[in-house]
């Protein structure tokens, strides 16, 4: 929220400097994002007097001015403003000055062949107003040659970030209240005085939706003259980033920004019959002030008349009933709307506004009469006219909350001792009322305060967080116990292992476009689709980490990356039983592009293949503590993978620890990727825990006393038999002696029967307390061949 120093001083009697105000705002929890001095934009602009004005020789709409800066050396300036004339005192931008409105740097130049030494400026060009019909006209006694910034004066603008729990500070008055409570001045009373009505209100006002609109106040003001708002009001609105429109519109915006009270003014001539709040009808439409048409439903509250909808209640008015220059009679609306309803409506329509921000956070339900009085007084003062009697339909929820409070809680919860009388004074300054028994009545403008802890927060923040002593937490003697959970240790270990293997970590969104999420959906209950997404491209919770990684691959390949090795460790989101969220820890990895670049020794560039993905999967599973020696390689990696170049790693037929392989061409086409991609997905939550891992430490490593022995075996097997099955079977033939089995040859060709292949394995044997004899080795070999025979394997001669 933005506001100027002079606007703040309308409500706060203070002599504090800009720096003191900014520091105090930060200290009490109202973060200052910046302080801007508009005068800094006016460097290079000076007050000048037009001495002569003559028609440009080659342009009918241009004049050649002789401009005096008070130094006796008039400058020649070409100007197109219709009000440029001899004797006018205005503002001249000299060469080198930057025009605030468009960032253009002024230079000495020739315009239609005539030299111009600067530019006479309008209020819009200097961002001092919206008038662009002519150049600025200053009083005749304005000091010629003086810097315009010095003449205009400095009115710094504060930019304060208001957290969602502080709706009371969505108006300048609420911020002034906080500063006054913090001792930085005296809060001025709200200048709201009731204006008696001189005639009955000619329009029926009511609320037919007491849940969505509990209270609807209004009155008619007739005989108004709409036009530009006063300069002081335009300056206030400009400091807040609002564009002045007309007096009637500016007045409602001014009251909203000053007091956090949204309101609306209707052109009475454009209304038909009664004006009332009601539920919308499904399919009903309204053309809003932003020029867009919105389709409504029966869960939304609207303001309508007998002819139809005029206003999306609490969010935005309708275009066809807004005030214009021809408006002579207005109907003022000051209502209280259900904050939850406003929020739901805004999200459904994807429509934001200043009014919605305030209503959905919570406006003061007791400020309806005061808001109507402020609006009435300003309209009568600026636009003239006479006001009708006030009509009050419904009742706002003004019953205050009362919270039992113990001032000792400032020490228990806030860590600081604050005297009781100081706490009472602080609460009173903030609008709270504490009786002798410390039953605290919460002001109606503070819907965020629910309990005693909230009151402690108010007292402590005004006292000053910087005044709370920093006290170290108590720590027992001895060695600190580890705090990382097993899951956290697993994540850390696997992340480091992936990085050590040359993979680069990526961090992608947990949200995906629905088509990309559907491409990787498991089919178990469907996707989690957000009702209020950040955008349409972030609507579905990811069922896999691979879509985000593939999007990263596409972006990098499009930018010329030749080889990519990416991984991400995070959670995927599935629909569990009874619609509950099922979050599962997963590691995804992709290998795309060139595995090895082309070279004189390697020849052509080599792409990644399914075996590279399998190697990554096995290595990372081993680091995660999975029993990789017991894993089975099976198919069914999923439709996203190439059916002949992918597989799964399982413990038994049902427990899938990983899937790996080349992605299907259709998957790559959907993600617009033109290079082959190998992918890995590890399901870390499926890895079984080690028995007794929390109780017993691993025994110390002791190298064997005797040297190991290796023996090679070559078997003829069915060509369809996975080599991993043979390796696993051979290793289990003699668990006491065989410590490792490695496949080193896969041959098909001359000497091997059709439909078969030759698999050669290296078997490592480790003797225990004595070396092997020939009989021992023969017995082991027989056990190996017997085990292999169960798979149909025959030892080659």
Q: State the fold for domain 486-686.
A: BirA Bifunctional Protein; domain 2 (3.30.930)
Q: State the fold for domain 402-465.
A: Phenylalanyl-tRNA Synthetase; Chain B, domain 1 (3.30.56)
Buried b / exposed e along 174-206 (16+ C-beta atoms within 10 A)? bbbbbbbbbebbebeeeebeebebeeebebebe
Nearest CA to 117 among 66, 152, 56?
66
CA distance 34 to 646: 56
How deeply is 445 buried, as exposed, middle or buried, from its count of CB atoms within 10 A (0-12, 13-18, 19+)? buried
Residues of the chain with CATH 3.50.40.10: 205-394
The domain covering 205-394 belongs, at the CATH homologous superfamily level, to: Phenylalanyl-trna Synthetase, Chain B, domain 3 (3.50.40.10)
CATH label, 2-37+156-187, candidates 3.30.56.10, 3.50.50.60, 3.40.50.300, 3.30.420.40: 3.30.56.10
Nearest CA to 350 among 309, 394, 292?
292
Q: Which two tokens stand for residue 108?
A: 């000495």
In terms of DSSP bridges, do strands 205-207 and 275-279 run parallel, antiparallel, or are they unpaired?
Answer: parallel
pLDDT at 41: 86
Tokens 């089995």 appear where?
A: 741
CA distance 515 to 763: 49
Q: State the fold for domain 709-795.
A: Alpha-Beta Plaits (3.30.70)
CA distance 48 to 140: 10
Kindly write down the DSSP assignment for every residue of 670-684, as one continuous string: HTT--S-EEEEEEEG
How deeply is 654 buried, as exposed, middle or buried, from its count of CB atoms within 10 A (0-12, 13-18, 19+)? exposed
pLDDT at 131: 72
Q: For residues 247 and 229, is the Cβ–Cβ distance under 8 A?
A: yes
Residues of the chain with CATH 3.30.930.10: 486-686
Binding residues for Mg(2+): 448, 454, 457-458
Q: For residues 301 and 394, is the Cβ–Cβ distance under 8 A?
A: no
Q: Which residues of the chain have pLDDT under 70?
A: 522-525, 576-581, 690-698
CA distance 206 to 635: 69
Nearest CA to 160 among 147, 185, 178, 146?
178
Q: What is the pTM of this model?
A: 0.66
Cα angle at 19 between 14 and 22, to 5 degrees?
80
Binding residues: 448, 454, 457-458
Q: Which two tokens stand for residue 487?
A: 């899951």
Crossing angle for the helix pair 610-623 and 486-500, to the nearest 10 degrees: 140
Q: For residues 44 and 96, is the Cβ–Cβ distance under 8 A?
A: yes
DSSP SS3 for 330: strand
Q: For residues 715 and 788, is the Cβ–Cβ distance under 8 A?
A: yes
Max CA pair span of the chain = 123
How deeply is 134 buried, as exposed, middle or buried, from its count of CB atoms within 10 A (0-12, 13-18, 19+)? middle
In terms of DSSP bridges, do strands 677-683 and 655-663 run parallel, antiparallel, or are they unpaired?
Answer: antiparallel
Nearest CA to 760 among 709, 710, 708, 716?
716
Residues of the chain with CATH 3.30.70.380: 709-795
Nearest CA to 666 among 645, 629, 641, 696?
641
Tokens 């972030």 appear where?
A: 538
pLDDT at 700: 78
CATH label, 40-152, candidates 3.40.50.1360, 1.10.3720.10, 3.40.50.970, 2.40.50.140: 2.40.50.140
């Amino acid at each position: 929220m933005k506001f100027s120093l002079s606007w703040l001083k309308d409500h706060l009697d203070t002599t504090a400097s800009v720096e003191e105000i900014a520091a105090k705002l930060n200290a009490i929890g109202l973060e200052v994002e910046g302080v801007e001095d508009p005068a800094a934009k006016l460097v290079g602009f000076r007050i000048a007097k037009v001495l002569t004005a003559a028609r440009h020789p080659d342009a009918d709409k241009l004049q050649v001015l002789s401009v005096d800066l008070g130094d006796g050396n008039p400058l020649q300036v070409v100007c197109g403003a219709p009000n440029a004339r001899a004797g006018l005192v205005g503002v001249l931008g000299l060469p080198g000055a930057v025009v605030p409105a468009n960032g253009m740097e002024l230079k000495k130049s020739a315009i239609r062949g005539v030299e111009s030494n600067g530019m006479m400026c309008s209020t819009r060009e200097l961002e001092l107003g919206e008038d662009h019909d002519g150049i600025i006209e200053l009083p005749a006694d304005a000091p010629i040659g003086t810097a315009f910034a010095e003449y205009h004066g400095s009115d710094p603008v504060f930019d304060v970030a208001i957290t969602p729990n502080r709706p009371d500070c969505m108006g300048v008055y609420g911020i002034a209240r906080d500063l006054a409570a913090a001792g930085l001045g005296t809060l001025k009373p709200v200048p709201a005085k009731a204006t008696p009505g001189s005639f009955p209100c000619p329009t029926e006002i009511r609320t037919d939706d007491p849940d969505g609109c509990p209270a609807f106040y209004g009155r008619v003001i007739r005989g108004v003259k709409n036009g530009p708002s006063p300069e002081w009001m335009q300056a206030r609105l400009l400091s807040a980033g609002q564009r002045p429109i007309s007096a009637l519109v500016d007045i409602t915006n001014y009251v909203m920004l000053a007091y956090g009270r949204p309101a609306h003014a209707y052109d009475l001539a454009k209304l038909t019959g009664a004006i009332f709040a009601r539920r919308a009808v499904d399919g009903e439409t309204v053309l809003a002030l932003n020029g867009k048409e919105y389709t409504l439903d029966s869960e939304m509250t609207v303001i309508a008349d007998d002819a139809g909808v005029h206003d999306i209640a609490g969010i935005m008015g309708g275009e066809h009933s807004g005030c214009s220059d021809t408006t002579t009679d207005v109907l003022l609306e000051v209502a209280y709307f259900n904050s939850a309803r406003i929020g739901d409506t805004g999200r459904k329509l994807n429509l934001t506004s200043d009014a919605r921000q305030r209503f959905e956070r919570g406006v003061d339900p007791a400020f309806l009469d005061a808001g109507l009085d402020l609006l009435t007084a300003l309209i009568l003062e600026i636009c003239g006219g006479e006001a009708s009697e006030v009509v009050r339909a419904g009742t706002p929820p003004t019953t205050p909350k009362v919270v039992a409070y113990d001032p000792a809680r400032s020490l228990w919860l806030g860590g600081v001792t604050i005297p009781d009388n100081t706490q009472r004074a602080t609460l009173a300054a903030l609008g709270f009322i504490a009786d002798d028994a410390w039953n605290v009545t919460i002001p109606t403008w503070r819907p965020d305060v629910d309990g005693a802890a909230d009151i402690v927060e108010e007292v402590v923040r005004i006292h000053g967080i910087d005044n709370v002593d920093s006290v170290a937490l108590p720590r027992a003697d001895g060695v600190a116990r580890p705090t990382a959970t097993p899951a956290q240790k697993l994540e850390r270990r696997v992340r480091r292992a992936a990085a050590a293997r040359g993979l680069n970590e990526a961090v992608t969104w947990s949200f995906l476009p629905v088509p990309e999420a559907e491409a990787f959906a498991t089919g178990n209950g469907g996707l989690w689709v957000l009702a209020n997404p950040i955008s349409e491209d972030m609507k579905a919770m990811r069922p896999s980490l691979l879509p985000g990684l593939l999007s990263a691959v596409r972006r990098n390949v499009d930018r010329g990356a030749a080889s990519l090795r990416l991984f991400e460790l995070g959670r995927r989101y599935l629909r569990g039983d009874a619609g509950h969220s099922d979050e599962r820890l997963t590691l995804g990895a992709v290998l795309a592009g060139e595995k090895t670049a082309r070279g004189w020794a390697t020849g052509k560039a080599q792409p990644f293949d399914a075996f590279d993905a399998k190697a990554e999967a096995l290595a990372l599973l081993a680091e995660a503590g999975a029993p990789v020696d017991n894993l089975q390689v099976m198919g069914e990696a999923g439709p996203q993978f190439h059916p002949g170049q992918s597989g799964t790693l399982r413990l038994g037929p049902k427990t899938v620890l990983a899937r790996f392989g080349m992605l299907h061409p259709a998957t790559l086409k959907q993600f617009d990727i033109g290079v082959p991609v190998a992918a890995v997905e590890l399901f870390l939550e499926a890895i079984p825990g080690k028995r007794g891992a929390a109780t017993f430490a691993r025994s110390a490593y002791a190298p064997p006393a005797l040297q190991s022995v290796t023996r090679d075996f070559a078997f003829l097997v069915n060509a369809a038999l996975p080599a991993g099955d043979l390796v696993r079977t051979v290793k289990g033939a003699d668990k006491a002696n065989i410590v490792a089995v490695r496949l080193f040859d896969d041959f098909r060709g001359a000497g091997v029967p059709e439909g078969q292949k030759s698999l050669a394995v290296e078997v490592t044997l480790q003797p225990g307390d004595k070396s092997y004899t020939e009989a021992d080795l023969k017995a082991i070999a027989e056990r190996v061949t017997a085990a292999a025979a169960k798979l149909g394997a025959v030892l080659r001669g």
